[in-house]
Structure 1
Amino acid sequence: MRFSITTLGCKVNAYESRYYAQKLEELGFEEADSDLDVCIINTCTVTNTAAAKSRQMIHRARRRNPGARIVVVGCYAQTAEEEEKQKLQADLIIGARHKNELAARVLALMTEDRSADLTSHEEGAGFESMPIARFEGRNRAFLKIQDGCNQFCSYCAIPFARGRERSISRDEALQLVQELEAAGHREIVLTGIHTGRWQGEQGEDLADLLKDMLSVTTDVTFRISSIEITEVTDGLIALLSTEPRMMPHLHIPVQSASNAVLQRMDRPYTVEEFEQRLDEIRRAVPDISISTDVICGFVGESDAEFEEMMQTLRRMRFSFLHVFPYSQRQGTKASRMGPPVDGTIQKERAARLLELSKELRMADMTRFREETVLVEQGENGEYTGYTRQYHPVLIRCDRPLSGRVHGTLRPEDGRYIMEV
């Protein structure tokens, strides 16, 4: 039987899709582009655009593959109203839970015609393990260690879509990093919805887990996909400052750099607190690069608040910005606060932030003249990878490359060029 997976949204979704593919292949399914028996759409609901695209992909799959079974999984599947779900005409719907059963459920759907709608949060259930044995053709591997969110920022539907916070067990996490290193991976990226809120059964935090991971591996390096400023503990800073196998890059979402907007967003810090912690991180880890997420056009964001944000972001010296125009999500606190900023103004502000991001990246890149790069892929004398600070690199070399290479860097158009 042949299947395809369409993935929308975040890196956690991408990880989960890879897990689904691995498990289906173990059951004898074949991933393909045509003559499909099963179409899986891994959905997103973080913005109206993401939800609309999820619906579009579901309808497209049905239209292009009239004989295939349609499986809808993920955040949009969880949050869609009953009427919306009926319109999808999906054969199997899986929301925040039962994701690690997807392959078995698909097999039952194909052999026993057991359709189902599994979109109950089942609060109190534990972390659903979704281990991936190997990331084919990649030196970098990912490991999902956490799911769910308890924060309930006023604009965000993710707590409703993903459920409450839960963490992988310490023992399983340590076993998986050893297996990934044994499979040949040179770098492991820890990921989750709130990665920094991983918690062990004995109250251990992320820094404790990373120390243990470093102790059971020998050569693999580690990154954190994203972390909140309130989760960057003194222990984590100390680990970043002393352990060479911890990559000197953090992605810390600020979302806004105006205190008034942060308050309306229900973010748990002020601009001053955020900046103070940034200073502490940089003093301890001078070669670190810190990137961020920014939302523009939030409810009530005035011209003055936006200009304040632009000035503050420049002062904060991020290495780059991921920019998101605000999207109203039904059921969130912000959806009851009033209309968002006009769409044309949102686009103008997003464009200015993206230009600022280019400036910030170039400024950060000029700090580094030589670096070590983990080669990801390439051929015909050109390879791609990332520096330890997570800047992209194009490597030119007339011989085959693999693993880590060290060389001189030349900034060009938002990336480095390295001649080896």
Structure 2
Amino acid sequence: MRFSITTLGCKVNAYESRYYARKLEELGFEEADQDVDVCIINTCTVTNTAAAKSRQMIHRARKHNPRARIVVVGCYAQTAEEEEKQKLQADLIIGARHKNELAARVQEMLQDDRSRDLTSHEEGAGFESMPIARFEGRHRAFLKVQDGCNQFCSYCAIPFARGRERSISMPEALTLVQELEAAGHREIVLTGIHTGRWQGENGEDLAALLREMLQVTRDVTFRISSIEITEVTDDLIRLLATEPRMMPHLHIPVQSGSDAVLERMNRPYTVAEFEERLEAIRAAVPDISVSTDVICGFVRETDEEFEEMMATLRRMRFSFLHVFPYSERKGTKASRMGPAVNGTIQKERAARLLALSRELRMQDMARFDEETVLVEQEENGVYTGYTRQYHPVKIHSDHPLEGRITGKLQLSQDGYIMEV
């Protein structure tokens, strides 16, 4: 049996897709690009565009693979209304729960002709462990330690799609990082919907989990995929400042640089509070780089509020920006606040933010003239990887390179060039 997986959305979705592939391969399935028996579409619903693209990928899969069974999984699968789900004509639909059962459910599906819809939330259900023992290339591995969200930002449907917060147990997490290091991985990225809200059975926080992970491993380094500013504790800052195996990069979503917009978004901080914490992080970890997410064209965002955001982002000196034009999601509080900013204006604002991101990236990279890089890929004698601060690097070498390389950096428009 052959299968394909199409993945939309975030890094957590990408992680989960790799898990599905591994479990299917263990059952004897083969991943392929065409002539497949099962098409899996791992969906996203964070924006209207993402939901529409999810539907498009589902219909495309059926068109190009008319004899294949269609499996729809993920956030859009969970939030789609009954009429929408009927139109998808999927053979198997899995939402926020039962994702770790996908491979077994696919096997069941192929044995009969019944379609199944597994999108009910189960109150009190725990964390669904989805361990991946080995990643391609053996350089960077990912470990999902948390799922769900309790924050309910006014624009976001993720709490409805993924359910309430839940965490992997500390014993299982420690076992998994040891296995990933034993498999040859050099770096482990902790990921989740709210990674910073990982919580142990006895109330331990993310910093405590990382300390234990550092204790049970020898050489592997650690990154945090994304974390909220309110979750960057003093203990986590101390860990970043004192532990050389903690990479000096954080991705902290700010979403807006205007207090009025942040209030409409229901974000749990003001610009001043965010900035104060950011400066505390930088004072303790001078070589850290901090990147962020921003939303432009939010409901009723005025020209003055946008200009305020531009000034704030420039002042905060982020290393780069992920830019998202606002997209209304039905059922969220923001969808009842009024119309979004005109699409043309949104595009203009997004373009300015992307230009600012390029400017900020170059400014941050200019701080470093020597760094350590984890080499990840090679093509025609050109090796690529990322610095500890998560800046891209190219290395030209006539001899094989692997692992971590330290060298001089030359700044270029698309990253660094390293001399070895």
Give distance in 2, aligned partners of 1:345 and 1:9: 24
Give distance in 1, aligned partners of 2:36 and 2:414: 39
Of 379-388 and 309-318, deviating more is: 379-388
State yes or no: 1:181 paired with 2:169.
no
State yes or no: 1:259 paired with 2:295.
no
How far apart are 1:114 and its partner, in Å? 4.4
Give distance in 2, aligned partners of 1:99 and 1:411: 43
In structure 2, what is the equivalent of residue 23 of structure 1?
A: 23
Matched residue of 1:142: which SS?
A: strand
Letter of the 1:205 counterpart: D
In structure 1, what is the equivalent of residue 133 of structure 2?
A: 133
Percentage of identical aligned residues: 84
Deviations 1:99-129 (A, max 9, x none): 0000000001112334310001112100000
Give distance in 2, aligned partners of 1:379 and 1:64: 32
In structure 1, what is the equivalent of residue 75 of structure 2?
A: 75
The 4+ residue runs of structure 1 with deviation greater than 6 A are: none
Give distance in 2, aligned partners of 1:115 and 1:27: 21
How far apart are 1:414 and its partner, in Å? 3.3
In structure 1, what is the equivalent of residue 56 of structure 2?
A: 56
Give distance in 2, aligned partners of 1:237 and 1:112: 54
In structure 1, what is the equivalent of residue 198 of structure 2?
A: 198
In structure 2, what is the equivalent of residue 12 of structure 1?
A: 12
Give distance in 2, aligned partners of 1:352 and 1:203: 43
Superposed, 1:275-290 pairs within 5 Å as 275-290=275-290
Letter of the 1:248 counterpart: P
Give distance in 2, aligned partners of 1:144 and 1:114: 32
Structure 2: gaps (5+ residues): none
Does the 8 A contact of 1:167 with 1:200 survive in 2?
Answer: yes
Deviations 1:263-297 (A, max 9, x none): 00000000000000000000000000000000000
How far apart are 1:413 and its partner, in Å? 1.1
In structure 1, what is the equivalent of residue 372 of structure 2?
A: 372
Superposed, 1:324-339 pairs within 5 Å as 324-339=324-339
In structure 2, what is the equivalent of residue 298 of structure 1?
A: 298
How far apart are 1:214 and its partner, in Å? 0.1
Give distance in 1, aligned partners of 2:260 and 2:232: 23
Give distance in 2, aligned partners of 1:207 and 1:69: 43
In structure 2, what is the equivalent of residue 246 of structure 1?
A: 246
Deviations 1:43-66 (A, max 9, x none): 000011100000000000000000
State yes or no: 1:146 paired with 2:146.
yes
Deviations 1:152-191 (A, max 9, x none): 0000000000000000000000000000000000000000
Give distance in 2, aligned partners of 1:31 and 1:187: 26
Does the 8 A contact of 1:362 with 1:414 survive in 2?
Answer: no
Matched residue of 1:409: which SS?
A: strand
Give distance in 1, aligned partners of 2:51 and 2:21: 23
In structure 1, what is the equivalent of residue 362 of structure 2?
A: 362
Letter of the 2:81 counterpart: E
Of 376-385 and 265-274, deviating more is: 376-385
Letter of the 1:130 counterpart: M
Give distance in 1, aligned partners of 2:230 and 2:61: 41
In structure 2, what is the equivalent of residue 351 of structure 1?
A: 351
Give distance in 2, aligned partners of 1:373 and 1:113: 51
Note the aligned Cα RMSD (angstroms).
Answer: 0.6
TM-score of the pair, normalised by structure 2:
0.99
Give distance in 1, aligned partners of 2:128 and 2:296: 34
Give distance in 2, aligned partners of 1:171 and 1:359: 43
Deviations 1:333-387 (A, max 9, x none): 0000000000000000000000000000000000000000001111321011000
The size of the alignment, in residue pairs, is 420
In structure 1, what is the equivalent of residue 317 of structure 2?
A: 317
In structure 2, what is the equivalent of residue 110 of structure 1?
A: 110
In structure 2, what is the equivalent of residue 222 of structure 1?
A: 222
